[in-house]
Amino acid sequence: MINSAILDAHGIPQLLERARQMRPGAVELPEGLSIEAAATMWCDPSGVWFQRPVLSAPALTGLTLSAAGLPAGTTITVEAMATGAQVAAATAVAGALAVILPTAGTYLVTLHAPPPWRDWQGVITA
């Protein structure tokens, strides 16, 4: 059996599988790299696999969610768990962002950054 991956344009696995034959366009995973581990990694153009960096959870102070030290292009979206409605969104400026929640409650928060970063998503109660 062969462990293989279909990579997107950034080298991030979009499909990981173990099969007798590799799909066209797939790359074989290095010996000892499991499918589970590869799901958290990316492959640079030279074929070297690296652990993808992960965004940290934003800080909550009162009704303000904030984060700093973010890569360029990072965005945050906040949805109210009770209604599913988006209540806040922002894009990082100079590596930082902040949003003010409309009221106390429970929210689904997503921080998204460009590849190779891994998104952070979690539920926050204010």
**5: burial class by Cβ within 10 Å (0-12, 13-18, 19+)?**
buried
One pLDDT digit (tens) per residue for the chain, 126 residues: 899 999 999 999 999 999 999 999 999 999 999 999 999 999 998 999 999 998 999 999 999 999 999 999 999 999 999 999 999 999 999 999 999 999 999 999 999 999 999 999 999 999
The top-level CATH class assigned to 59-125 is: mainly beta
Q: In what order do the strands lie in the sheet with 13-19?
A: 13-19, 2-7, 27-28
The structural domains of the chain, with segments of one domain joined by +, span 2-51, 59-125
pTM of the entire predicted model? 0.79
User: What is the SS3 assignment for 108?
Assistant: strand
User: What local confidence, expressed as pLDDT, does residue 15 receive?
Assistant: 94
